[in-house]
Chain A
Amino acid sequence: MAGKGVVKSIYRAMIALLYYWRDEYTRIFRDAEVLVFFLLLPTAYPILYALIYNPEVVVDVPVAVVDESRTVLSREIVRNFDATPAARIVSHCANLDEARLLMMQRDCYAILVISADITDAIARGEQATLVFYTDMSLLLNYKSLYMALTEVTLDMDVTLRQQALPIGVSNSIMNIAQQPVPYASVVMFNPTSGVASFLIPAVLVLILQQSLILGIGMLAAVWHEKGRGWYAPHRIWAQLCARTLCYVSIYIFNIVYLFHFVPWVFGYEQLGSAIEIFLWALPMTLSSIFMATTLSVWVREREYVYLLFVFTSVVFIFLSGIAWPRYAMPEVWRYLSYMIPSTWGIECFVQMNTMGATLAQASHAYVCLWILTLIYAATAYITMRYESKK
């Protein structure tokens, strides 16, 4: 007899679950604003961001040259520097003032000054100095230009040193004097050091989380505005499960789109196994849903969604450690970052997708993601109970 009662109550719970599930679909698909957050935002934003950063690297930054030497050597320096991908010589100026004027007009971002006596200095066996002024409004410009110029001078150093050696030195000594310890630098996982390849994978994960926060917040706002309590006071678990199933089923499309289609279209690294990325997407989506449900308690009107949550994207992307590494953060922010699903989500996704790690290697972030899922499931449940009693 008791068995029959259990079966019956499970049956009832299942019916309720299916009812709430369907109910949630109706609510979502009737509200254009919610659809914008759930479907349009995750579809359009990645394209927008990927296109903004698509040039990936800084090339041909305009540079002015003040060549006071006008010798074979100085012209070779200028020619070699111009030949690097980073720099483009836009003007040969007569003096520094003229070059400075170009810089003020934003016609160039750096000035290379070659003093009159470099050829003489080299011939005398002294060190010659090139003065290089750079505009520091963008570190990316400075870095690529400085690196290019360093490589040019290192390259020419080899020849100059060889020319300075006494006649009759053996070839092997010659080689070792030129470059005794050649170095091979291997840039891993982002071979071009591209901005998009490093930033977009993180942005994709953040978009998943933020679209859920905004969309679920908007759903809550609709209910709050209508003045009714948000939830029926019974079967909270069934409601939570039904909602979760509903959002997850919609987000299957977004997950495939964000984490397979977009990286494929724009040719980003995709080293991870597809199955493991799906395994990662599950706790990422769940924890975002539960966090969004928890946060939605503060959304009283539709506008609150924009006012409260748009700002958080900026904070979350910095907390994730993709731009500013986590070891360099002050403790407070590091602990705060542990509370945000996108932190672990971005870490785990970048590890697998960009760095080709297996899920086992990324297990730390993955486990943390599941722990957050459990914590936020509890808070979501408490929120729903609290809301339903009002």
Chain B
Amino acid sequence: MMCSGVWRVIVREWRCIVAQPLLPLCMIGMPLFGMLFFLTMLSNGLPEHVPTAVVDLDNSALSRGFVRNLQAQQAIDVVMQCNSYSEARDAMQRNDIYGFILIPHRFAAMLADAKQPAISFYTNDAYLIPGSLLYECYTTQSMLVSAGVVQEVLQSLGLPERRILSLLQPLAIDSQPLGNPWLNYSVYLSNSFLPTILQLMVLLVTMYAIAREIKHRRTDAWLLAARGSMPVALVGKLLVYAFVFIIEGVLLQSLLYGYMQYPHHAPMWRMVCAMALMVVATQSIVLIVLSIVPILSIAYSVVSVIGVVSFSLGGFSFPVPEMYVPFRVLTNLLPVRHYFLIYVNNALNGYPLYYCRGEYIALLLFVLVALLLLPRLYSVVWRYGR
């Protein structure tokens, strides 16, 4: 009896979906486009070959050797040689280069005189990612130059070769970036932004699926298909979308961890469960919003704001602990934030399940709250949708 009700709602929903191009576009087209877009856009992992310039005022064998070494770095592409600081600055303001290095006049001579000539480098942090990449390269390069000189000085003092090598850098850092040793941007952006895109589309599509019935006053037909049972009507409707979005979510995960070979150090079911829970929790948010705000235009705005702000409040680019307290509290209301933490704990770091139990429960709580508000939603649909 109940099953047949659910089945009829499902059939009715599929008829609606195929009747117009909008829903297939938003349900399938946009998320797939998002995956294609981000995975190809960031496929390099790092924005290497940053266009830069060199202002070599010295033009000695030493400085030219330095420039050659700089050019040999994979991250840098020296696209121009400038004659002065102002010329390089002008090129930077024209967006031709993202940074430049200035070797002062009489650099080699001063170095020979032990006068400590300084190399200056300028990076444009108005573009933060290439700017910081350049900063790293420049630091490494000037450290290498220093090391070369120190080596000569120490040799002249008669120190043994073995000691010289260790004296170049007495304290070394053995850095272990856990899970992402390539510092690949795509690993961290695709793993956070693509689920957020999925969340945005779940929010909008679910909203549309329910609001459409209310707006066109077709709730009678909808409830009729469910034999007058609101839970059956809702389950049937939401199942259709949950099914499609969970399949897309699993497709996304298989693209990330299978095809792209991004780090995945946990049993597969944990991430699949997290994805399924995120989709259902997101649908619950729509139900919660609709039962609190029965005015459709406001409800649409609210879910859009939640969907868009998630990209920032999710704490993928800027860490949540650094945000102001009200925002830190709000992040807990975003399913994708919990999904992201589950991803970090499981796929990226491979921690035991115990340490992200809170996130799974939080995702379930969304569903629980939606269930508690169901009577209210029922009256909203009944009052406005007939």
A residues with CB within 8 A of B: 32-33, 36, 48-49, 51-55, 58-59, 61, 77, 104-105, 118, 122, 125-143, 146, 149-150, 153-154, 156-157, 160-161, 164-166, 169, 172-173, 175-177, 179-191, 193, 195, 197-199, 201, 269, 300, 302-304, 306-308, 310-311, 313-315, 318, 321-325, 327-330, 332-333, 347, 350-351, 354-357, 361-362, 364-365
In contact, A324 and B41 (Cβ under 8 angstroms) = yes
In contact, B173 and A356 (Cβ under 8 angstroms) = no
> Chain B residues near A164 (CB, 8 Å)?
163, 167, 170
Say whether B261 faces chain A, with CB atoms less than 8 Å apart. Answer: no
B154: nearest residue on chain A (CB-CB)? Answer: A177
Q: A129-B173, A313-B308, A322-B127 are in contact. Are A361 and B93 (CB under 8 A)?
A: yes
> Chain A residues near B308 (CB, 8 Å)?
310, 313-314
Say whether B317 faces chain A, with CB atoms less than 8 Å apart. Answer: yes
Greatest chain B CB density within 10 A among A142, A165, A169, A187 is at A187
Say whether B72 faces chain A, with CB atoms less than 8 Å apart. Answer: no
Q: A177-B153, A184-B120, A198-B125 are in contact. Are A128 and B171 (CB under 8 A)?
A: yes
In the complex, what distance in Å separates the CA atom of A25 from the CA atom of B245?
41
In contact, A350 and B47 (Cβ under 8 angstroms) = no
In contact, A362 and B94 (Cβ under 8 angstroms) = yes
Q: A183-B118, A330-B40, A364-B94 are in contact. Are A188 and B124 (CB under 8 A)?
A: yes
Mask: chain B, 329-353; 1 = CB below 8 Å from A; 0 = not: 0000000000010001100110110
In contact, B42 and A127 (Cβ under 8 angstroms) = no
In contact, A303 and B129 (Cβ under 8 angstroms) = no
> Chain B residues near A32 (CB, 8 Å)?
297
> Chain A residues near B244 (CB, 8 Å)?
none
Say whether B185 faces chain A, with CB atoms less than 8 Å apart. Answer: yes
In the complex, what distance in Å separates the CA atom of A177 from the CA atom of B164?
11
Say whether B30 faces chain A, with CB atoms less than 8 Å apart. Answer: yes
A180: nearest residue on chain B (CB-CB)? Answer: B149
The 9 closest A-B pairs by CB, nearest first: A328-B47, A180-B149, A190-B125, A357-B93, A136-B180, A160-B170, A137-B344, A127-B166, A153-B171
Chain B nearest Cβ from A312, distance in angstroms: 9
In contact, A49 and B312 (Cβ under 8 angstroms) = yes
> Chain A residues near B345 (CB, 8 Å)?
104
In contact, A310 and B304 (Cβ under 8 angstroms) = yes
A127-B165, A180-B149 given. 11 additional CB < 8 A pairs? A131-B176, A134-B177, A136-B187, A136-B348, A140-B319, A141-B319, A185-B123, A306-B303, A328-B44, A350-B126, A364-B94
Chain A nearest Cβ from B66, distance in angstroms: 9
Q: Among residues 198 to 245 in chain B, which have CB atoms less than 8 Å away from a CB atom of chain A?
A: 200-201, 204-205, 207-208, 211-212, 215
Say whether B157 faces chain A, with CB atoms less than 8 Å apart. Answer: yes
In contact, B173 and A150 (Cβ under 8 angstroms) = yes
> Chain A residues near B93 (CB, 8 Å)?
351, 355-357, 361-362
Say whether B247 faces chain A, with CB atoms less than 8 Å apart. Answer: no
Say whether B128 faces chain A, with CB atoms less than 8 Å apart. Answer: yes
Other-chain contact of B352, A104, A132, A318, A362 (Cβ < 8 Å)? A104
> Chain A residues near B170 (CB, 8 Å)?
122, 127-128, 156-157, 160-161, 164
A150: nearest residue on chain B (CB-CB)? Answer: B173
Q: Among residues 108 to 136 in chain B, which have CB atoms less than 8 Å away from a CB atom of chain A?
A: 111, 114, 116-132, 135
> Chain B residues near A187 (CB, 8 Å)?
122-123, 125, 131, 135
Chain A nearest Cβ from B216, distance in angstroms: 10
Mask: chain B, 142-182; 1 = CB below 8 Å from A; 0 = not: 11011001100110011100110111011111111111100
Q: A53-B312, A160-B171 are in contact. Are A142 and B177 (CB under 8 A)?
A: yes
In contact, A131 and B174 (Cβ under 8 angstroms) = yes
In contact, A179 and B135 (Cβ under 8 angstroms) = no
Q: A131-B174, A136-B180, A189-B125 are in contact. Are A169 and B138 (CB under 8 A)?
A: no
In contact, A188 and B146 (Cβ under 8 angstroms) = no
In contact, B149 and A181 (Cβ under 8 angstroms) = yes
Majority DSSP secondary structure for residues of B touching A: helix
Mask: chain B, 290-332; 1 = CB below 8 Å from A; 0 = not: 0000000100110110011101110111110011100100000
A177: nearest residue on chain B (CB-CB)? Answer: B153
In contact, B177 and A77 (Cβ under 8 angstroms) = no
Sampled A-B contacts (24; CB under 8 Å): A52-B318, A55-B323, A122-B170, A131-B174, A132-B175, A136-B348, A138-B188, A161-B150, A164-B163, A177-B150, A179-B146, A180-B146, A186-B122, A186-B123, A188-B126, A193-B128, A306-B304, A307-B205, A310-B200, A314-B193, A325-B127, A327-B51, A328-B48, A364-B94
Q: A142-B177, A307-B22 are in contact. Are A175 and B185 (CB under 8 A)?
A: no
Other-chain contact of A33, B145, B165, B297, B303 (Cβ < 8 Å)? B297
Q: Among residues 3 to 47 in chain B, which have CB atoms less than 8 Å away from a CB atom of chain A?
A: 22, 25-26, 30, 34, 37-38, 40-44, 47
In the complex, what distance in Å separates the CA atom of A166 from the CA atom of B122?
37
Say whether B86 faces chain A, with CB atoms less than 8 Å apart. Answer: no
Other-chain contact of A135, B38, B303, B349 (Cβ < 8 Å)? B349
Greatest chain B CB density within 10 A among A105, A136, A308, A327 is at A136
In the complex, what distance in Å separates the CA atom of A311 from the CA atom of B170?
52
Chain A nearest Cβ from B372, distance in angstroms: 27
Chain A nearest Cβ from B347, distance in angstroms: 10
In contact, A311 and B30 (Cβ under 8 angstroms) = yes
In the complex, what distance in Å separates the CA atom of A288 from the CA atom of B50?
30
In the complex, what distance in Å separates the CA atom of A58 from the CA atom of B205?
36
Q: A136-B178, A138-B319, A361-B93 are in contact. Are A354 and B126 (CB under 8 A)?
A: yes
Other-chain contact of B174, A129, A197, A329, A351 (Cβ < 8 Å)? A129
Say whether B355 faces chain A, with CB atoms less than 8 Å apart. Answer: yes
> Chain A residues near B176 (CB, 8 Å)?
131-134
> Chain B residues near A149 (CB, 8 Å)?
173
In the complex, what distance in Å separates the CA atom of A185 from the CA atom of B180?
27
> Chain B residues near A190 (CB, 8 Å)?
124-126, 128, 131
> Chain B residues near A137 (CB, 8 Å)?
188, 340, 344, 348-349
